[in-house]
């Protein structure tokens, strides 16, 4: 149910699925904010562990709107929330993470001075098992959507939405944002706490579903090569391809009998060869040669692959054809 209130400055979009151990902390991190012009849009995507009931217990608050869906996926859920948002700016929050209580104040101070389209900020990674908090990474280059604040009208004007029905929906979304050339700024403030846990999509065992979605996302990006032509965009795509290739090879090593996975790896390697042999992409990643040698000499993962000759061609391309 959408509630009547003055249009807020920020819409915080929270999509949750089976995170009952964490969801209350996520919600409270918004409620405890030192800034008061916001709305919280919660999409529960068919949770079965009591997450929805916890979310529903906060719906009496005028700034909180809760919707229950039935396994439509993270990309679809975020797109739904974007349609319901009324704030000038959008923030994303995962159901097992937290926002800093002062981040909206820091963002507001910058927005008052200039109507930025994109504001990035730093974050911390909290290990769910050990409680250790790691150093922040570079906020400008991460594919994550949750360490950034987006002007809603700018997203609408550029038609930027999430891919649906796949994992890794942040990848294409972030690349589209970068390509749009937003007026942007980076804020040197720790605004987000990311929880690293084994049950999350990012850290779950890499299986056939992950491989299928990786291939879908990569092929989507590859179909737009003429559009994504800056050095950063090309490096971004190559890096995504390489990192997920390593995950695929690891999964193949662990489950050598998954022939569908093997077929997907072959298709993925072929797609990578097409990418690397495309003229504008040959010079994008000087570190690739080192990574390839590391793979060959110290790990040797692909011994049981369905098509070792195809992988050999891929290795040969990396070593002999990429100039740097």
Residue with tokens 């159901």: 95
CB atoms within 10 A of CB 274: 12
At 26-42, the pLDDT tens digits run: 999 999 999 999 999 99
Where residue 43 falls among pLDDT bands split at 50, 70, 90? very high
Mean pLDDT for the chain overall: 78
Partnered with residue 88 across adjacent β-strands are none
CA-closest candidate to residue 41, choices 75, 87, 81, 100? 81
Residue with tokens 């975020």: 78
CA angle 194, 199, 203 (to 5 degrees): 65
Contacts of 58 (CB under 8 A, 6+ apart): 27, 31, 42, 64, 66
Contact 114, 42 (CB under 8 A): no
**pTM (global) more than 0.85:** no
pLDDT for 312 equals: 53
**% of the chain beyond a pLDDT of 70:** 62
Contact 38, 63 (CB under 8 A): yes
What mean pLDDT is predicted for residues 239-258? 63
At 221-233, the pLDDT tens digits run: 767 666 766 767 7
Contact 233, 178 (CB under 8 A): yes
Residue with tokens 């992409």: 281
At 121-146, the pLDDT tens digits run: 998 888 766 665 655 556 555 778 89
List C-alpha distances in Å: 263 to 120, 165, 300, 310, 315: 38, 21, 19, 11, 18
Q: Rounded CA gap, 301 and 73, in Å?
A: 32
Partnered with residue 68 across adjacent β-strands are 44
């Amino acid at each position: 149910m959408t509630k009547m209130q003055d249009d807020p400055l920020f819409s915080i979009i929270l999509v949750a699925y089976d995170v009952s151990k964490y969801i209350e902390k996520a919600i409270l991190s918004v409620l405890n904010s030192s800034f008061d012009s916001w709305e919280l849009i919660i999409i529960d995507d068919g949770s079965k562990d009591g997450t929805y009931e916890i979310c529903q217990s906060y719906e009496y608050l005028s700034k909180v709107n809760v919707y229950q869906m039935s396994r439509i996926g993270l990309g679809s859920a975020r797109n739904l929330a974007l349609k319901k948002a009324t704030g000038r700016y959008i923030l994303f929050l995962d159901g097992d993470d937290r926002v800093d209580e002062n981040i909206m104040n820091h963002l507001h101070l910058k927005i008052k001075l200039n109507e930025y389209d994109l504001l990035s900020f730093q974050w911390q990674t909290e290990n769910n098992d050990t409680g250790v908090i790691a150093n922040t990474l570079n906020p400008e280059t991460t594919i994550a959507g949750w360490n950034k604040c987006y002007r809603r009208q700018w997203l609408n004007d550029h038609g930027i939405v999430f891919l649906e029905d796949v994992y890794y929906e942040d990848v294409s979304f972030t690349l589209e944002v970068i390509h749009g050339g937003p007026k942007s700024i980076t804020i040197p403030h720790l605004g987000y706490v990311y929880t690293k846990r084994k049950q999350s999509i990012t850290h779950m065992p890499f299986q056939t579903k992950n491989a299928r979605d990786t291939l879908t996302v990569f092929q989507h990006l590859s179909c737009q090569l003429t559009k994504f032509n800056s050095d950063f965009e090309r490096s971004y795509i190559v890096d995504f391809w390489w990192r997920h290739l390593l995950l695929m090879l690891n999964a193949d090593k662990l489950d050598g009998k998954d022939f569908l996975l093997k077929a997907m790896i072959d298709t993925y390697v072929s797609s990578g060869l097409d990418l690397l042999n495309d003229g504008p992409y040959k010079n994008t990643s000087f570190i690739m040669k080192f990574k390839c040698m590391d793979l060959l000499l110290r790990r040797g993962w692909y011994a049981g692959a369905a098509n070792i000759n195809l992988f050999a061609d891929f290795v040969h391309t990396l070593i002999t054809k990429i100039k740097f």
